[in-house]
Amino acid sequence: MSSVDIYDEQEMMLSLAKLIASNLYVHTWIFKIDDEFNGRGIAYLNIDHVKSLSALRKRPQSEQLVEQILELLHKHIARKAIIPMKTLYRDWGEYVSAFCRVGGVIEAAPNC
């Protein structure tokens, strides 16, 4: 479960929303910047830390699910995404700029 060759923030958010909608059992999504190494271009989002996203798992699936997820992502991702290398990317905006400039990947993390 992944989305590759992402070069646009809208595409990034839509890809993530679609991945979440089709894989509601996945707890954590990992973002990787294509040209980084040694974990420097990694960020992640744990769905369990966004209560409104986590609550969608309990509701019946609807045709508007992707739109609902997309709206919640735009509202919460900047505060809830974790960027381990704060010395390289101070905030979500900087991270997304680098991600879209060189491309990146979104992947599901294995549930433990």
Q: Measure Cα distances from 52 to 48, 55, 68, 73 in Å.
A: 9, 5, 10, 10
Q: Tell me, what's the pLDDT at 87?
A: 93
Q: Compute the distance between CA of residue 32 and CA of residue 22 in angstroms, rounded to an integer.
A: 20
Q: Tell me, what's the pLDDT at 62?
A: 80
Q: Tell me, what's the pLDDT at 58?
A: 78
Q: Tell me, what's the pLDDT at 9?
A: 95
Query: For the chain, how many structural domains are there in total?
Result: 1
Residue 103 has pLDDT above 90, yes or no: yes
Q: What percent of the chain has pLDDT over 70?
A: 99
pLDDT tens, position by position, 42-88: 999 999 999 988 888 777 778 899 999 999 999 999 999 999 999 99
Q: Which residues contact 66 (CB under 8 A, 6 or more apart)?
A: 14, 17, 18, 21
CA neighbours closer than 13 Å in the CB half-sphere of residue 78: 9
Element spanning 73, H or E: helix 65-80
Q: Tell me, what's the pLDDT at 75?
A: 96
Q: Tell me, what's the pLDDT at 37?
A: 85
Phi then psi for 104, rounded to 5 degrees?
-165, -175
pLDDT tens, position by position, 37-49: 888 999 999 999 9
**64 φψ region: left (φ > 0), alpha (ψ -120 to 50), beta (else):** alpha
Maximum C-alpha span of the chain: 41
Q: Which domain holds residue 87?
A: 2-108
pTM: 0.91
Element spanning 108, H or E: strand 104-108
